[in-house]
Amino acid sequence: MKLDRTSFAILAMGAILLIAGPQLPSWMVSMLNVSLCYGTVVLGMMLLMRNGIVSFGHGLYFCLGAYAAGLLDQMLKMPDMLLMVGAAVVVTGVVSAILGLLLAKYRDIFFAMLSLAFSMILYGLLVKTASLGSTDGFNVAAKTVGGFAVAPESQRLMVYSLAVVFATVSAFFLHSYLASHQGRLAGAIKDNELRVEYMGASVMRVVHRNYVISAVLAGIGGALMAVNIGHIDPEMTYWPQSGEFVFVAILSGTGSVFAPLGGALVFEAIRSFAYEYSPNTWQMVLGITMLLVMIFLPGGLWSLFTRKREG
């Protein structure tokens, strides 16, 4: 496989974040950790947006990934971080493969609303399920990585390192996929579905595949978030959560796999500082940020870099 400049840059980013981890202050590690979890989810949102579709219900897979990880600990007593992420991949992959059969037929607002409906169905189920903690959810405690015990004092750094590795692998995979013949079809479908069919490809199959990839990335993000926070609840699939992913995706732009990761960091930084310095109006700060981005950078923050290159 031939690696291009972006592939090397992704690997370099991962290596730098891993090496820098132990030197960073704990608040920054926490912020990066959440950003990487969100960024992994938004990588999947970006893939869907490249197809011209937006999901308002990706909280569904974020939550499913988290609950798959949590249940592995709660029910099967297997508190291994890698197994938890693996369980999230399997569960979100299977569920999205089934739901995707229906969703891949829809576009525009119908796709958005149907995806939202599925996420709200899961929300309804979870809040009514007492054995899963109902609205309170339950705690998740990951104690090992690949069978090796992690000391409590190293826990935070280990979770951070895992988030770096999975975000890097996800970004690397997605970049390679988008550069492939199969990945190029996403943009073609956004432009002209009729022509794609008349060139011999099944639009529905491509959208379905991309939906599953996107859902699995959201599941990985959810599992990492569960391990990071140590607690999960049905709010992870409630509509504001899905809205946040759309927010970050629009804030980031879809020009590169770096965009969702960087956008998630910017989002988390704005939210954290706004909450710190303006606790009663932090949502307004986010709203104004979105307004400014949509007016001045309709292509998202990533367009700052492409504009510079074009200039």
Binding site for other proteins (CB under 8 A): 180-182, 184-185, 187-188, 190-192, 194-202
- Name which of 192 and 281 has its Cβ closer to other proteins: 192
CB of 189 to other proteins, least distance (A): 9
Per 3-state DSSP, the chain is made up of helix, strand and coil in percentages (nearest 5) of: 80, 5, 20
- Name which of 144 and 306 has its Cβ closer to other proteins: 306
CA angle, 253 then 60 then 118, to 5°? 110
CB of 202 to other proteins, least distance (A): 6
CB of 177 to other proteins, least distance (A): 12
- Name which of 77 and 309 has its Cβ closer to other proteins: 309
The DSSP H or E segment spanning 144 is strand 144-145
State the Cα–Cα distance between residues 36 and 173, nearest whole angstrom: 15
Distances (CA, A) of 280 to 144, 241, 268, 274: 39, 19, 17, 9
CA angle, 274 then 278 then 282, to 5°? 55
- Name which of 198 and 296 has its Cβ closer to other proteins: 198
Give the position of tokens 């599953």: 212
CB of 307 to other proteins, least distance (A): 17
- Name which of 192 and 278 has its Cβ closer to other proteins: 192
CB of 118 to other proteins, least distance (A): 27
Give the position of tokens 């829809």: 106
